[in-house]
Amino acid sequence: MAEITAALVKELREKTGAGMMDCKKALGETSGDLEAATDWLRKKGLAAAAKKSGRVAAEGLIAVASVPAKAAMVEVNAETDFVARNEHFQHFVATVAKVALHVGEDIAAIGAAAFPDSGRTVAEELTHLVATIGENMSLRRARVLAVPQGVVASYVHAALRPGLGKIGVLVALEGNSEGQALETLGRQVGMHIAATRPEAIDIDGVDPAALLREKAILAEQARASGKPEAIIEKMVEGRIRKYYEEVVLLEQVWVHDGESRVRAVLAKSGARLAGFARFQLGEGIARQGGDFAAEVAAAAGLAATE
């Protein structure tokens, strides 16, 4: 059995939003397995859906860059939001997106690429920026999408300046429509994705393991109602359809009119959605909270660990 540390309780609390003592009990019931503990909390109605990423903690910026039929998106993290307003940092992140556009989404390759007009690599320029600004920073991830015929549109939510913000979306559309029409549709789809956070394009793209977990959770919740197994099976089927409407892009209701399905909007345009990517700044990264681990240890009777 894994040791139930303060850090583990803290991580589960940040992931689920459940109370500290509930998180401690869930970890105890599941031998310290974080994923199993998340499911345990959900079955008891003590946690939000697992697809929610919890409190976003890291700071920095998302940047996008594009050329015809291709676009790149990167995330660069820093310690404080203050850095995101620094012009040198903004220039660095925007330039890294342009570098990724040409060298691809591999972080090592981006880091080894030349940083324009500096005589340094991207990695060396980042080190120089850390020394200049005085905050730790990191190039976290990158994504590049391209299509043989069509557009890769981009959308940045609440942009600080063009192409720079805290939520970024790339949308790859294939089609023979006039370029500007496809670009406009792609941006609308990007706005939709920014708002709804889909996990897959279509039902076939849903992670099988995630689907099995969801079915198990829904079945457990349905059994709590005391209904017969035959009824429970139908209840789960209905809830899985609802689950698809939440996590599958083509099954979602189009946010721009509140009634059409995304698949119908795309079918009407004659375009095919070839892929998408959504970055939200800091998702999945826990904030380095001052004394939170000690607070958890004090409340739960645990030994704080790093």
Give CATH 3.30.479.20 domain extents, the chain.
Answer: 59-200+263-280
Q: How far apart are the first and last CA of the chain?
A: 19
Name the percent of the chain lying above pLDDT 90.
51
**CB neighbours of residue 149 within 10 Å:** 10
pLDDT value, residue 303: 43
pLDDT value, residue 10: 83
Higher pLDDT, 167 or 295: 167
pLDDT value, residue 287: 57
Nearest to 65 by CA among 168, 149, 206, 178: 168
Q: What's the fold here for domain 59-200+263-280?
A: Tetrahydropterin Synthase; Chain A (3.30.479)
Residue 77: phi and psi, rounded to 5, are: -100, 150
Contacts of 225 (CB under 8 A, 6+ apart): 235
Specify the range with the lowest mean pLDDT, choosing from 48-57, 115-124, 205-214, 248-257. Answer: 48-57
3-state secondary structure of 273: strand
Specify the range with the lowest mean pLDDT, choosing from 17-21, 61-65, 118-122. Answer: 17-21
Question: Which tokens go with 290?
Answer: 């001052």
Higher pLDDT, 114 or 48: 114
Taking the C-alpha atoms of residue 210 and residue 217, their distance in angstroms, rounded to an integer, is 11
Cβ atoms of 71 and 101 within 8 Å: the answer is yes
pLDDT value, residue 62: 97
3-state secondary structure of 74: strand
Taking the C-alpha atoms of residue 255 and residue 262, their distance in angstroms, rounded to an integer, is 9
pLDDT at 246 over 70: yes
Q: Beta strand pairing status for 120-121 and 114-115? A: antiparallel
**CB neighbours of residue 69 within 10 Å:** 17
Higher pLDDT, 109 or 177: 109
CATH 1.10.1050.10 fits 1-56+284-306, yes or no: no
Residue 3: phi and psi, rounded to 5, are: -70, 130
3-state secondary structure of 53: coil
Nearest to 303 by CA among 37, 9, 26, 29: 9
Confidence tier at 68 by pLDDT (50, 70, 90) = very high
3-state secondary structure of 208: helix
pLDDT at 297 over 80: no
What pLDDT digit, counting tens, does each position of 82-138 carry?
A: 889 999 999 999 999 999 999 999 999 999 999 999 999 999 999 888 888 888 889
pLDDT value, residue 57: 35
Give CATH 1.10.8.10 domain extents, the chain.
Answer: 1-56+284-306
H-helix segments, 134-261? 179-196, 208-223, 229-247
Cα 190-142-208 angle, rounded to 5 deg = 70
Taking the C-alpha atoms of residue 74 and residue 121, their distance in angstroms, rounded to an integer, is 16
